[in-house]
Amino acid sequence: MNKNSKILALKYRPQVFEDLIGQEIIVETIKNSISLGKIPNAFLFTGIRGIGKTTIARVLAKSLNCTKDSKNSCKINCCNNCIEISESRNIDVLEMDAASKTGVDDVRELIEFSRYGPTSSKYKIFIIDEVHMLSKQAFNALLKTLEEPPEYLKFIFATTEIKKIPITVVSRCQRFDLSRIKSSELFDFIKKIKDKEKGKVTDDALKLIVKISEGSVRDALSLLDRGLLTLDKDKELDLKIAQKIFGYFDKSQLIDLFKLILEGNEKKVIEAYRRIYDQGVEPKIFINDFLELVYYFKNINSLTLESTNFLLNDEEFEKIREISKVVDISVLILFWQFTIKTLEELDLVSNQNLSIEMFLIRLIHLNSFKPKEVSSKEDDKDKSLNKKIEKKNLISDLKNDTISQIRNIIQEEKNKHQAQFKVNDENKISINSFDDLLKVCNEKKEMKLKYELEKNVNLVNFEKSRLEISFNDNLDKNFVKDLSSKLFDWTKERWIITFSKTKGKITIKEEQKNKRIEKLSKAKNSDLYKILLDKFPDANLVEVKSKHDPEE
């Protein structure tokens, strides 16, 4: 195949260690082990897709069998072994895809083949890609050979799922964890490739490619290839065109949308979102980008433009910095929680677009009743918003008072609820022990809570307004939520409920059961029971009850 007709990911695949990017420590370690002659029996490369696992495996195979010198600098005028390995036709280097050959029979054939020494190379090398796909029996068949192979045999494994490989196999290999490629390194790399291909691509478009690829070189080259193929030779791939090609939208639009939400302009917020949606942006992508934006608004003062992983340009960065000065931190935290909740809700609705619009409307009203200090311009906006609200009669009890925030029906109900608690403070119940808690549950007819406390909870420590417990697997998932709510209702105080790794006391039910067993055992050892057995040999004592015992 003509090299120019290859896709970029194959055309620019590293052929020597010097061509690799982002894995300097691993490369240095491997080169030192080769030069010192301390070569492991098996190498294991793990990491995300597209960062060079299989590539390093092939370069390592070439380095081990290179006939030029010990430094393995076979880059120009390669030796026959390196050429054959690059073209996958070297008889001593066998590359196997474990995804298609997963059985124990395939591994047995491999082991049988390993009994014969190399024909024209120094080492016989087995490269097994996606090694985690091998079956349990296949791994077991490989163990002995892997631990004590012949001197001429080397194994090189590559995987994206290191946790699926048995620990007995991992312990017999020298493991290398390949890291994601840093954004700056990946940007410089694809920019050089763009120049070699004489492609017209702006830096902003390249930054978008870096962002989407998430540290994967192969993904970045594939996206660059796609972008170059989409346009004619005379056209330039800029950020707007790249966003359309890759399904991403301009972050400045999202920042403007966020500003409209803070201003409470519902009509313009919906219009802005619909313009973004019409660009072909999926609701989940929109929500994830919105989450990132909330993060930047919250932490913009502790970030630099270089630390944002090319998500923002200079103008966007400064715009966020300015807007964040007038946004209350508590608002941003609530925005984050609502956005996460909406991300979960998207899978429940058939029309995700409508769910996003309702989400944005909720954020407007959520922000409206959060107090915040704003500039004089913001005060003018608040006054105009208040006039609109008065016209719509959304708040009936404002009268002639000057308002500084929007208050809706939900907030009024919350105030009434709090006022009711103040009235009922006189009726609060004092709970000073675990037994008191059980008695209150019984008096208040909270049988479910009482059952959970007696059956599934082990008491570790009980202090004033603080409860430390451990529990078994049968504990109801809503137990802590329900108990906290009831404790606040009863005592008018906030309780701290913590889980402990300490086992704690046995449960009430277990204690009662032990008492019954002890009572039964004592009764069976009594003279009266022995006399009873003499008269009735088939008799069996099942339970002992005492009329003086309050529990019976």
Within this chain, do residues 16 and 58 fall inside the same structural domain, yes or no? yes
Within this chain, do residues 445 and 333 fall inside the same structural domain, yes or no? no
Within this chain, do residues 359 and 453 fall inside the same structural domain, yes or no? no
Within this chain, do residues 300 and 345 fall inside the same structural domain, yes or no? yes
The Cα–Cα gap between 54 and 222 comes to 17
Domain end marker among 200, 226, 246: 246
Within this chain, do residues 313 and 279 fall inside the same structural domain, yes or no? yes
Q: φ and ψ at 524, to 5 degrees? A: -70, -25
pLDDT of residue 54: 92
Q: What is the DSSP letter of 399?
A: T
The Cα–Cα gap between 22 and 28 comes to 12
Q: What is the CATH number of the domain that holds 261?
A: 1.20.272.10
Q: What is the CATH number of the domain that holds 201?
A: 1.10.8.60
Q: φ and ψ at 402, to 5 degrees? A: -80, 130
Would 521 be classed as within a structural domain? no
Number of CB atoms found within 10 A of residue 215's CB: 21
295: region left, alpha or beta (phi > 0 left; psi from -120 to 50 alpha): alpha
In this structure, what token pair is assigned to residue 42?
């098996």
The residues, any chain, with a CB within 8 Å of residue 350's CB and separated by 6 or more, are none
CA atoms within 13 A on the CB side of 398: 19
Within this chain, do residues 461 and 399 fall inside the same structural domain, yes or no? no
Q: Are 127 and 98 in contact (CB under 8 A)?
A: no
Would 63 be classed as within a structural domain? yes
Would 535 be classed as within a structural domain? no
Strands ordered across the beta sheet of 457-463: 457-463, 466-471, 496-499
User: Would you give the distance in Å from CA 415 to the centre of its chain?
Assistant: 38
pLDDT of residue 470: 85
Taking the alpha carbons of 446, 451, 454, 458 in that order, is the dihedral positive or negative?
negative
- For the CA atoms of the chain, what is the radius of gyration? 35
Within this chain, do residues 412 and 452 fall inside the same structural domain, yes or no? no
Q: Are 202 and 227 in contact (CB under 8 A)?
A: no
Domain end marker among 206, 227, 246: 246
Q: Which amino acid is at 551?
A: E
Domain end marker among 471, 499, 527: 499
Q: Are 75 and 15 in contact (CB under 8 A)?
A: yes
Q: Are 474 and 455 in contact (CB under 8 A)?
A: yes
3-state helix, strand, coil in the chain (%, to 5): 55, 10, 35
Count of the separate structural domains present in the chain: 5
Would 544 be classed as within a structural domain? no
Q: φ and ψ at 118, to 5 degrees? A: -65, 150
In this structure, what token pair is assigned to residue 114?
């390993």
Would 381 be classed as within a structural domain? no
pLDDT of residue 420: 42
Within this chain, do residues 13 and 153 fall inside the same structural domain, yes or no? yes
In this structure, what token pair is assigned to residue 308?
């944002």
The Cα–Cα gap between 12 and 16 comes to 11
Would 454 be classed as within a structural domain? yes
Q: Give the DSSP H/E element, type plus range, for residue 131.
A: none
Within this chain, do residues 199 and 330 fall inside the same structural domain, yes or no? no
pLDDT of residue 374: 40
The Cα–Cα gap between 334 and 357 comes to 17
pLDDT of residue 390: 47
Can you give the pLDDT of all 552 residues of the chain as single tens digits?
455 667 898 889 998 888 899 889 999 999 999 888 899 999 999 998 899 999 999 999 998 988 876 555 577 778 888 888 888 888 899 998 888 888 888 888 888 888 888 888 889 999 999 999 999 999 999 998 898 888 999 999 999 999 999 999 999 999 999 988 888 899 999 999 999 988 889 988 898 888 888 889 999 999 999 888 887 777 888 888 888 888 776 677 888 899 899 888 889 999 989 888 887 788 888 888 898 889 888 888 887 765 665 566 677 788 888 888 888 888 888 899 889 988 888 888 888 888 899 999 989 888 765 444 444 444 554 555 554 444 444 334 433 443 444 344 445 444 544 444 343 455 678 888 888 888 888 888 888 888 888 888 888 888 878 888 888 878 887 888 888 888 888 888 888 888 887 777 888 888 888 888 888 888 888 888 778 777 777 777 777 776 655 444
Would 510 be classed as within a structural domain? no
Q: Are 297 and 320 in contact (CB under 8 A)?
A: yes
Q: What is the CATH number of the domain that holds 131?
A: 3.40.50.300
User: Would you give the distance in Å from CA 251 to the centre of its chain?
Assistant: 23
Nearest CA to 61 among 142, 113, 128? 128
Within this chain, do residues 41 and 163 fall inside the same structural domain, yes or no? yes
The Cα–Cα gap between 515 and 508 comes to 11
Range of the domain at 436: 428-499
Within this chain, do residues 100 and 214 fall inside the same structural domain, yes or no? no
Within this chain, do residues 241 and 319 fall inside the same structural domain, yes or no? no
pLDDT of residue 375: 43
pLDDT of residue 389: 47
Would 53 be classed as within a structural domain? yes
pLDDT of residue 401: 41
